Chains A and B, each alone.
Chain A
Amino acid sequence: MASNEEILAGLAEIVNEETGLAPESVEMDKSFTDDLDIDSISMMTIVVNAEEKFGVRIPDEEVKNLKTVGDAVTFISGAQA
Chain B
Amino acid sequence: MLDSLTALFAPDGPLGLLALSPPGWGGNLLLGLWHSMQIAVGAYALGLSIGIVGAYGKLYGNEVVRDIFALYTTVVRAVPELILILILYYAGTDMINQVLLSAGFDRWAPSRLLIGTVVLGVVMGAYMTEVLRGAILAVPQGQIEAARAYGMSPLLLARRITFPQMMMNAIGGMANLWLNATKDTALLAVIGLNELTLTTKQAAGTTKAFMLFFIAAMVIYMIVSVVSGRLFAAIERWARKGQPTLGGGGV
Chains A and B come from one and the same complex: no
Query: Which residues of B are at the interface with A, using a C-beta cutoff of 8 A?
Result: none
